[in-house]
Amino acid sequence: MLRGALGGRGADAQASSCELLSPAMAPAPPPAASFSPAEVQRRLAAGACWVRCGVRLYDLTGFVRHHPGGEQLLRARAGQDVSADLDGPPHRHSDNARRWLEQYYVGDLQGDPQGSVENGAVTSASTQKTDPAMEPKLKAVDWDKDLVDWQKPLLWQVGHLGEKYDEWVHQPVTRPIRLFHSDLVEALSKTVWYSVPIIWVPLMLYLSWSYYRTLAQGNVRLFTSFTTEYSVAMPESTFPGLFMLGLLLWSLVEYLIHRFLFHMKPPNDSYYLIMLHFIMHGQHHKAPFDESRLVFPPVPASLVIAFFYVFLRLILPEAVGGTVFAGGLLGYVIYDMMHYYLHFGSPHKGSYLYNLKAHHVKHHFAHQQSGFGISTKFWDHFFHTLILEEPHPKIQ
């Protein structure tokens, strides 16, 4: 069954089967477009992944690789009516998932009471009707009637949304976001995923080697600022433990920041706090597949990393704090890389990353106030914020 959110980038009804909308913020295709079963079959034979709900057709070609349940799950349903799959089992897709699906709408299937497409399973529009309970949710996306003007930078607009901001920001879209008027500032707010290991792994390795050598000198002691009689020697054998402590502490920091800072609810009447929330994390929930905004850009990341480094240096001996920091820095790199992969990777079904991906997608589309762990669900278990599996009634 379909897992996670069906969605993707809408394709022009007249384009080739695998062509998706460009990153330019184009409106949804006109609803008047229609396709015969034979036309749909030609696109399926060319490798496209089109599905339908009732008579409405959706091109998911650009999304199959990102689908939480795996590419093959969608490929196996190419040409089919997925209305029943949206309602589960194994789970009922959220309203956000259904809205997300509408961004892929390309047109309607022409009615043919006897028509069906072999191998593509495009059955007649009249043989399977859309579930009436779902019908109100299947509405084409009209970007011109959104609460913001998508042709302009969003950061200066979201503060005016007031009480509508929280609902709006948690209705994801599949289009890029522009935050700033300035091209330079806009460029600094975005980055490619591989900038993270390129910049921070060499620093982590250098600090690790440097502080290991310091510990190996045998003159580092803990608690000397409080007492010399009961201070504790820190030989080089403590390096692995301190490094792993840094990794563990980062996983906790990751959870706490995500839960209490990134998911704070700004006051409805605070223009600047709404802006702050949007630039910190809201923009990621609004456009979860904007790959240029999935990892922290180097400039703001440098400020946060410098803060933690100075903090550890102030409360611990240099070599001890530096070793813990190096472990935490590796934890941050792993976190950012895993976060990118959970959005754009296709982990093997049943694997640890597969389960994490499904967990994270549920956080984006249905459970924004739980499931805060990215690289691990340990702290969600510990603080009771785990996203629980929803029971689904058995089909008679």
pLDDT digits 0-9 by tens, 333-345 = 999 999 999 998 8
For residues 331 and 211, state if they share a domain: yes
Indicate whether 25 pLDDT > 70: no
92: nearest Cα among 60, 59, 133, 126: 133
Are residue 107 and residue 192 in the same domain, yes or no? Answer: no
Final residue of a structural domain among 65, 80, 113? 113
Beta bridge partners of 81: 52
229 vs 204, residue with greater confidence? 204
93 pLDDT tier (thresholds 50, 70, 90): confident
- Do 379 and 245 reside in the same domain of the chain? yes
What is residue 52's predicted lDDT score, i.e. its pLDDT?
Answer: 85
Return the pLDDT at 312. Answer: 94
107 and 226, same domain (yes or no): no
Decide which of 69, 86, 113 is a domain's last residue: 113
CATH (domain of 78): 3.10.120.10
Most confident of 81-85, 255-259, 349-353: 255-259
Residues 365, 282: one domain?
yes
Q: Which of 253, 244, 243 is nearest to 210 (CA)?
A: 243
324 pLDDT more than 80: yes
Assess whether pLDDT exceeds 50 at residue 131.
no
Residues whose CB is less than 8 angstroms from the CB of residue 356 and which lie 6 or more positions away in sequence, other chains included = 338, 342, 347, 374, 375, 377
Q: What is the mean pLDDT of residues 119-146?
A: 48
Residue 259 gets which letter from DSSP? I
CA distance 373 to 252: 9
Instruction: For residues 375 and 276, state if they share a domain.
Output: yes
Per-residue pLDDT band for 119 (boundaries 50, 70, 90) equals very low
Asked whether residue 140 is assigned to any structural domain, the reply reads no
**Is residue 359 a known part of a binding site?**
no
Determine whether the annotation assigns residue 67 to a binding site.
Answer: yes
Which DSSP string corresponds to 6-19?
-------TTS-TT-
Mean per-residue pLDDT of the chain:
81
Residue 8 makes CB contacts below 8 A (sequence gap 6+) with 20, 58, 59, 60, 61, 62, 63, 64, 66, 103, 104, 174
Cβ atoms within 10 Å of 46's Cβ, excluding its own? 11
Question: Is 343 annotated as contributing to ligand binding?
Answer: yes
- For 362-375, the pLDDT digits (tens) are 899 888 999 999 99
Residue 133 lies in a domain: no
Pairing of strands 105-109, 34-35: parallel
Same domain, 214 and 337: yes
More confident residue, 279 or 130: 279
Q: How many domains is the chain built from?
A: 2
Cβ neighbours of residue 379 under 8 Å, at least 6 residues apart?
A: 251, 252, 255, 372, 373, 385
> Domain for residue 323, yes or no?
yes
Nearest to 174 by CA among 56, 44, 26, 74: 26
Give me the percent of the chain exceeding a pLDDT of 90.
Answer: 47
Going by the DSSP 8-state scheme, the letter that residue 315 receives in this structure is H
Cα distance between residue 165 and residue 310, in whole Å: 35
279, 361: one domain: yes
Residues 241 and 346 in one domain: yes
Classify residue 26 as exposed, middle or buried by CB count within 10 Å of its CB (0-12, 13-18, 19+).
middle
What's the farthest any 2 CA atoms get from each other in the chain?
A: 91
Higher pLDDT, 54 or 204: 204
Condensed to tens digits (0 to 9), the pLDDT of residues 161-193 reads: 999 999 999 988 888 899 999 999 999 999 999
Q: For residue 162, give the 3-state DSSP assignment.
A: helix
> Do residue 355 and residue 231 come from a single domain?
yes
pLDDT of residue 73: 75
- DSSP readout, 272-314? HHHHHHIIIIIHHHHSTT-GGGSS--HHHHHHHHHHHHHHHHH
pLDDT band at 109 (very low <50, low <70, confident <90, very high): confident
What is the DSSP code (8-state) at residue 81?
B
Q: Quick one: pLDDT at residue 32? A: 54
Give the contacts of 385 (CB within 8 A, at least 6 positions apart). Answer: 259, 369, 370, 371, 372, 379
- Structural domain includes residue 396: no
The percent of residues above 70 in pLDDT, for the chain, comes to 78
pLDDT at 35 over 80: yes
Confirm or deny that 281 is annotated as ligand binding.
yes
Q: Using CA atoms, how far apart are residues 158 and 285, in angstroms rounded to an integer?
A: 14
**Over residues 111-118, mean pLDDT:** 46
Establish whether 263 is an annotated binding residue: yes
Last residue of a domain, one of 61, 79, 113: 113
pLDDT for 89 equals 64
Residue span of the structural domain in which 65 resides: 30-113
Q: How many CB atoms lie within 10 A of CB 198?
A: 10
Is residue 348 marked as binding?
Answer: no
Distance CA 242, CA 275 (A): 38
Tell me, what's the pLDDT at 41? 87
Q: What is the pLDDT of residue 71?
A: 73
More confident residue, 202 or 97: 202
β-strands 50-53, 34-35 pairing: unpaired
Long-range contact set of residues 35-39: C-beta below 8 Å, sequence gap at least 24: 35/106, 35/107, 35/108, 35/109, 35/110, 36/109, 36/110, 36/112, 36/115, 37/109, 37/110, 37/112, 37/115, 37/116, 37/117, 37/122, 37/124, 38/117
Whether 52 maps to a domain, the answer reads yes
pLDDT confidence of residue 267: 95
Other residues' Cβ atoms within 10 Å of the Cβ of residue 395: 8
In a domain, 145, yes or no: no
Taking 80 as the threshold, does the pLDDT of residue 7 lie above it? no
Question: Burial, 252: exposed, middle or buried (Cβ in 10 Å; 0-12, 13-18, 19+)?
Answer: middle
Are 69 and 211 found together in one domain? no
Do residues 215 and 301 both lie within one domain? yes
Residue 93 marked in a binding site: yes
For helices 239-256 and 195-216, angle between their N-to-C axes, nearest 10 degrees: 140
10: pLDDT strictly greater than 90: no
- The least confident of 76-85, 94-103, 200-209 is 94-103
The answer to whether residue 17 is domain-embedded is no
Is 160 marked as binding a ligand? no
User: Parallel, antiparallel, or unpaired: how do β-strands 56-59 and 122-123 relate?
Assistant: unpaired
- Read off the pLDDT of residues 241-273 as tens digits, 9 standing for 90 and up: 999 999 999 999 999 999 999 999 999 999 999
pLDDT-derived band at 5, boundaries 50, 70, 90? very low
Beta carbons of 102 and 143 less than 8 angstroms apart: no
Asked whether residue 377 is assigned to any structural domain, the reply reads yes
pLDDT at res. 233: 84
Q: Higher confidence at residue 22 or residue 195?
A: 195
284 labeled binding residue: yes
